[in-house]
Amino acid sequence: MIRIDKYLADSGYGTRSEVRSLIRLGNVSIGEKIIKDPGAKIDPDKDKVLVKGAEVSYSEYEYYMLSKPAGVVTATTDRKEKTVLDLIKTGKRRDLFPVGRLDKDTEGLLLITNDGELAHFLLSPKNKIEKTYVAVVSGEPPVDITQLFREGLDIGDDKKTEEALLIQLEKNEANSLYTYEVTITEGRYHEIKRMFEAVGCKVEYLKRYSMGCLKLDPGLASGQYRELTSGEVEQLRSLNKCK
Ligand code: URA
């Protein structure tokens, strides 16, 4: 059972004080019965709540896959910068947040949800959730770069980085840029940039393509998003069922 004012605020009908006045003005009913007490309790699974005669659709959790563009900060609010939450126009829940962090200039897959338990599961280092990126780097990589990434690098933290998988995808002879696929299981601050720095290279472009079982939908243009399917949510919750 939850308070009707919270239920309506969570469903996108405004702030708590806005929905309280909506309720007090007699705009809200449970079935036929008008409710004027913002503290009244309802059962979201059983009660049919209407605002001005239209049924409220309530979801406890929302899950969005965003194709994050460069130039947007991974935060819920920011006084100066555009945030990833500003891009989720159809989100009803007011408690949405990004799961983990991509740098302002990093693009790609970002999960946005209000499911704290799932976020904790995905971010907990002990679960070693794989995150795969494509990195375009400048500088001359050492010949044993793949081994160095696998063995772990000193990037100035207390501990070396965990084993990372590096696959060279391309070397552009014209501009001397190398393209790699990098898979890491941690989420340290600027981790991939600092790993390449540790071997004398500079990341010029970085994009994330997957997180656990979740793959960036190729149909999403930069800045676009879509809801996750229930299958995707289930797969994210279980470590071993990626297909
Ligand atoms: N590693 C980085 O350096 N930056 C990111 O945004 C993500 C991983």
Q: How far apart are CA 97 and CA 89, in angstroms?
A: 13
Which stretches does DSSP call E strand in the chain? 2-3, 28-30, 33-34, 41-42, 49-51, 54-55, 63-68, 97-98, 107-113, 131-138, 165-172, 177-184, 202-211, 214-215, 225-227
CB 193 less than 6 A from any atom of ligand 1: yes
**Statement: residue 29 has pLDDT above 90:** yes
Q: Which atom of ligand 1 is nearest to the CA of 102?
A: 6
Mean pLDDT in residue range 62-86 = 97
Q: Which residues contact 53 (CB under 8 A, 6 or more apart)?
A: none
Can you give the pLDDT at residue 50? Answer: 96
**Statement: residue 240 has pLDDT above 90:** no
Task: Return phi, psi of residue 30, to 5°.
Answer: -105, 110
Mutate to test the pocket of ligand 1, among 73, 84, 103 (most ligand atoms within 8 A of CB): 103
Mean pLDDT in residue range 153-159 = 97
| Helix (H) and strand (E) counts in the chain | 6, 15
Mean pLDDT in residue range 212-218 = 96
CB 110 less than 6 A from any atom of ligand 1: no
CA of 218 to the centre of ligand 1 (A): 20
Can you give the pLDDT at residue 238? Answer: 83
Can you give the pLDDT at residue 91? Answer: 85
pLDDT (tens digit, 9 = 90+) per residue, 172-208?
988 889 999 999 999 999 999 999 999 999 999 999 9
Mean pLDDT in residue range 211-219 = 96
Residue 243: pLDDT band with limits 50, 70, 90: low
Can you give the pLDDT at residue 242? Answer: 65
CB 206 less than 6 A from any atom of ligand 1: yes
Can you give the pLDDT at residue 94? Answer: 86
- Residues annotated as catalytic (active site), given as ranges: 103
CB 211 less than 6 A from any atom of ligand 1: no
Q: Which atom of ligand 1 is nearest to the CA of 203?
A: 3
pLDDT (tens digit, 9 = 90+) per residue, 77-132?
999 999 999 999 988 888 999 999 999 999 999 999 999 999 999 999 999 999 99
Q: DSSP H helical segments within 143-242, as ranges?
A: 145-151, 191-198, 230-237
